[in-house]
Amino acid sequence: MIIDVQDTTTSQIAKRMNQLREAGGVVALGRVLTLVISTTPGHAEEAILAANLASREHPCRIIVLAAGDPAAPTRLDAQIRVGGDAGASDVVILYGAGSNAEESETLIGALLLPDAPIVVWWPRESPAVPAESALGSMAHRRITDTATAARPRQALMHLRQTYRAGDTDLSWTRLTGWRIQLAAILDGLEASEILSVTVDGAEDSPSTMLLAAWLTRCLNVPVTMAHSKAGQGMRSVRLRRREGDVVLSRPAGDVASLYQQGRPVQHISLPKRSDQDCLAEELRRLDPDEVFGDVVVNGLPLTDLKAVLPSER
């Protein structure tokens, strides 16, 4: 069911949702959190799709702030989605213009689930300091995505400078499969065996920089960045040893190959992760991700982020 409400207020929207709940169309009980998505009308639907799919694992109320033109007359339109149009959630989309085009606690306050944790996700542009923004200051977790920034590297460096406990980024969550596989490989090796590491990924991929920083913190050896074509994401990690290199490579597709001296090649499932997969993972925990915080704050400054181009390898 989709209900459009024109020229309204959040208190009127809240009353309408209460009426729907009393009529049996919306069941707020069982919602485990409130997910607030701050985006623009042009990107709202893709974010809602990812949130709806993630909500099947984490039933929640989804509030979408689709900010319009701040120079237009002040106005608030809304759309309420329940039932099959909302996954395992109820969805409220707020289309704000004028003063309602800015993030505001008062704009969403009446729609928050009582006594439920709040997670804020900025799928595109995020505030200068997420933890100090109007929405971020009231949230238990704050999710950004530096991969969608116009200048991903600069966005990641800015995130390091503004990091607060509770911040996370989907560029980090996309690495979960890589980190699991590499941790398993490292468990079978002596740390002293590894002389250096090369991380190969797309030049526009902050995930590549984060994985290099993570390995720097884990191994305390030189880590070199090697850049491939933009848009390809992570491609390979090479662990250099005197006894022979260990290479985990995923040049294309969802299957990676593990090459080790004197052993047959292993093929490992390592699919690229969708936004809904990453979002579902982030919603599983409401405590700060201490590993991410350590990698961003302490790992990145220790990592040589100067990329080696293909011709220089």
Q: Model confidence over 237-256: pLDDT tens digits? A: 999 999 899 999 998 889 99
Q: What is the mean pLDDT of residues 114-138?
A: 94
- In this predicted model, which residue has the larger pLDDT, 197 or 307? 197
Distance from C-alpha of 33 to C-alpha of 141, rounded to nearest angstrom: 11
Is 70's pLDDT higher than 80? Answer: yes
Lowest-confidence pick of 16-25, 50-59, 99-108: 16-25
- In this predicted model, which residue has the larger pLDDT, 242 or 305? 242
Helix, strand, or coil (residue 172): helix
Token pair, residue 2, equals 């989709």
Is 59's pLDDT higher than 50? Answer: yes
Q: What is the mean pLDDT of residues 120-140?
A: 95
Average of per-residue pLDDT values in the chain: 89
Structural contact between residues 52 and 87, judged by C-beta atoms closer than 8 angstroms: yes
* Residue 208: Cβ-neighbour burial (10 angstroms; 0-12, 13-18, 19+): buried
State whether the Cα torsion 66-69-70-74 is positive or negative. Answer: negative
Is 166's pLDDT higher than 90? Answer: yes
CA-CA-CA-CA dihedral for 140, 146, 150, 154, to nearest 10: 110
Structural contact between residues 270 and 165, judged by C-beta atoms closer than 8 angstroms: no
Pairing state of beta strands 118-121 and 141-144? parallel
pLDDT score recorded for residue 310: 45
141-144 sheet: strands from edge to edge: 2-5, 75-81, 90-97, 60-67, 33-39, 118-121, 141-144, 167-169
pLDDT category, 39, cuts 50, 70, 90?
A: very high
Is 309's pLDDT higher than 70? Answer: no
Token pair, residue 240, equals 């250099």
pLDDT category, 87, cuts 50, 70, 90?
A: low
User: Length of the chain, please?
Assistant: 313
CB atoms under 10 Å from CB of 256, counted, come to 23
Partnered with residue 5 across adjacent β-strands are: 78
- In this predicted model, which residue has the larger pLDDT, 85 or 193? 193
Distance from C-alpha of 172 to C-alpha of 300, rounded to nearest angstrom: 13
307-308 sheet: strands from edge to edge: 266-269, 255-260, 246-249, 234-241, 194-202, 223-228, 307-308
pLDDT category, 214, cuts 50, 70, 90?
A: very high
Is 16's pLDDT higher than 70? Answer: yes
Q: What is the mean pLDDT of residues 5-16?
A: 91
Q: What is the mean pLDDT of residues 129-158?
A: 94
Alpha helix stretches (DSSP H) within the chain: 10-22, 44-55, 105-108, 152-162, 170-173, 176-187, 206-219, 275-283, 290-294, 300-302
Phi/psi zone of residue 160: left (φ > 0), alpha (ψ -120 to 50 degrees), beta?
alpha
